[in-house]
Amino acid sequence: MGPLSVKPLVALRRAAKGLRRSVGTTMLAVSILALGLAAPATFFSLLVGAIRPLPVPEGDRVARIDVLQPERGARPLALTLEDLSSIEGSTSLGALGAFQVTAATIVDPSVGATRVSAAALTPEVLPMLRVQPLLGRIPGAEEAGRAVLLAYDIGQESYSGDASVLGRVVEFNDVPATIVGVMPEGFAFPYKQNAWTVLDPTLVSDEPVELVARLADGSSFAAASAELAVRWSQADAARDLDRTGGVLVVGRFTGGRGEGGRGRGFSRAGSRRALLTPDRVRERRESLARACC
Which of the pair, 16 or 48, is modelled with greater confidence?
Answer: 16
Least confident piece of the model among 51-65, 102-116, 161-175, 252-266: 252-266
Average pLDDT of the chain?
79
Asked whether the predicted pLDDT for residue 35 surpasses 70, the reply is no
Q: Give the pLDDT confidence of 221-238 residue by residue, as tens digits.
A: 999 999 999 999 999 999
Which of the pair, 266 or 179, is modelled with greater confidence?
Answer: 179
User: What mean pLDDT is predicted for residues 53-64?
Assistant: 90
Q: Give the pLDDT confidence of 167-176 residue by residue, as tens digits.
A: 999 999 999 9
- Tell me whether residue 76 is exposed, middle or buried, using C-beta atoms within 10 angstroms of its C-beta: 0 to 12, 13 to 18, 19 or more: middle
**What is the per-residue pLDDT for 291?**
45
**What is the per-residue pLDDT for 279?**
57
Confidence of residue 211 (pLDDT cuts 50, 70, 90): very high
**What is the per-residue pLDDT for 262?**
35
Q: State the sign of the Cα–Cα–Cα–Cα dihedral 25, 31, 34, 36.
A: negative
Pairing outcome for strands 93-108 and 135-136: unpaired
Please tell me the pTM assigned to this model: 0.71
User: What mean pLDDT is predicted for residues 59-67?
Assistant: 95
Asked whether the predicted pLDDT for residue 265 surpasses 90, the reply is no
Distance CA 260, CA 45 (A): 13
Distance CA 148, CA 122 (A): 13
Asked whether the predicted pLDDT for residue 93 surpasses 80, the reply is yes
